[in-house]
């Protein structure tokens, strides 16, 4: 079995440690935001003007772009 071990020099690396430790929580926030935007576009589009829908779609596209660039996956929902 392959293992990966992250080491931090605390307290100097406290910020990096917290980011590594809380990565799954941040991922959950991103995934939740993507799902919210998707649901608004799919199920609640009548609540928005065309301009607002375009803005929501742009934000969702940017979130996907950042996911591809920073995490290396094409679909935010594929990463669990």
pLDDT tens track for 20-66 = 899 888 888 888 999 999 999 999 999 999 999 999 999 999 998 88
What pLDDT is stored for residue 31 in this prediction? Answer: 87
What pLDDT is stored for residue 75 in this prediction? Answer: 61
What pLDDT is stored for residue 54 in this prediction? Answer: 98
79 pLDDT exceeds 60? no
Which pair of tokens denotes residue 59?
């934000």
Q: Which residues contact 15 (CB under 8 A, 6 or more apart)?
A: none
* Domain chopping of the chain, boundaries: 49-80
9 pLDDT exceeds 60? yes
What HEC string does 4-65 produce? CCCCCCCCCCHHHHHHHHCHHHHHHHHHHHHHHHHHHHHHCHHHCCHHHHHHHHHHHHHHHH
Which pair of tokens denotes residue 17?
């440690």
Closest CA to 34 of 70, 79, 58, 64: 64
What pLDDT is stored for residue 74 in this prediction? Answer: 59
18 pLDDT exceeds 90? yes
């Amino acid at each position: 079995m392959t293992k990966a071990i992250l080491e931090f020099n605390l307290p100097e690396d406290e910020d990096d440690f917290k980011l590594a430790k809380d990565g799954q929580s941040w991922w959950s926030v991103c995934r939740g935001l993507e799902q919210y935007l998707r649901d608004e576009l799919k199920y609640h589009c009548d609540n928005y003007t065309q301009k607002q829908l375009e803005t929501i779609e742009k934000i969702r596209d940017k979130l996907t772009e950042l996911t591809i660039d920073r995490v290396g996956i094409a679909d935010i929902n594929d990463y669990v």
